Amino acid sequence: MGNWKKEYEEIKVPENMKERMEASIARAKKDKRKVKKVKLWKTCTSAAAVLAIVLILPNTSQTAAAAMQQIPLLGNLFKITTVREYQVDEERNMANVKVPQVEVQDSTDGNTDTDTAAQAKKSADAINFDIEEETNKLIDEFKESMKNEEGYQDIYIDSKVLTDNDRLFSLELILYQGAGSGYEQHKHYTVDKLTGKELTLKDLCGNDYVDTISEEVKKQMKEQMATDESVKYWLDDPDVPEWNFDKIAEDQDFYVDAEGHVVICFNEYDVAPGSMGCVEFTMPQTVTLNE
């Protein structure tokens, strides 16, 4: 894992309601930019090699090809169902809520062993618990405000499967809350299908991931602001020193995309004004297989 930083440093660089809800969200997000995806050029550790082998090293060597043949296909390990729906369509209150639930499917091809299935179930339970907490909080706040007739408000909750291949499953939970101005946040969950374990950045990038990724995020922020005057991040800004970005959190939100790239995610107002919306920084992984 110690080679990761060294290699990185060497790199050169019904319909009516839906329409109203979408219109409301569009108005609230009128000045927001689309999610930024910034490439963090970095080399991940050998710990990422096992994870990424089927994603970014197809047939690059006889060793890689042989290793891929030994990895079972686990494409149907998870499925998403809607466990709860909540809708309100009133003049002052709108809600369009679909709460997802991650389910572990029974293996029909014998590729999922008992230990993996058990761990996958634990991961799914933990994800579902977190989703329930997050969504209940927004729904309860919405109901309370509606009961007290506190102005205009709307909430939108949905989910999207970002990655579902033979090795990885990544789910995005979308949470939007509007009351005068809007606030959108995303949460992500990524599971390694081979082990059934929910992944962390430390699993993928080793012990020094916080400092290394943070410095690269700062570098890319500066590059973006230098090339596009409409881009604004809170970085080295003397006017708002308390808001300036310093480091990613140890439990920083992220996901792994279909190409095997680690994507670092920030919600609105985390590192930039609301006009920037949610921002993402994509890190193309480069790994070396242990032979």
For the chain, give every domain's residue range: 3-283
Question: What local confidence, expressed as pLDDT, does residue 261 receive?
Answer: 85
- Helices within the chain (DSSP H only): 3-10, 16-28, 46-56, 62-70, 114-147, 201-205, 209-227
Chain mean pLDDT for the chain: 78
Residue 60 DSSP label:
S
Distance CA 2, CA 33 (A): 37
Distance CA 89, CA 33 (A): 28
Question: What local confidence, expressed as pLDDT, does residue 141 receive?
Answer: 93
Pick the more confident residue, 284 or 132.
132
| 159 pLDDT more than 70 | yes
For residue 48 the two structure tokens come to: 């990422």
The band of 216, judged by pLDDT with boundaries at 50, 70 and 90, is confident
Question: What local confidence, expressed as pLDDT, does residue 23 receive?
Answer: 55
3-283 fold: Heat Shock Protein 90 (3.30.565)
| 97 pLDDT more than 50 | yes
Distance CA 199, CA 219 (A): 26
Q: How far is CA 95 from the centre of its chain?
A: 23
Distance CA 52, CA 286 (A): 9
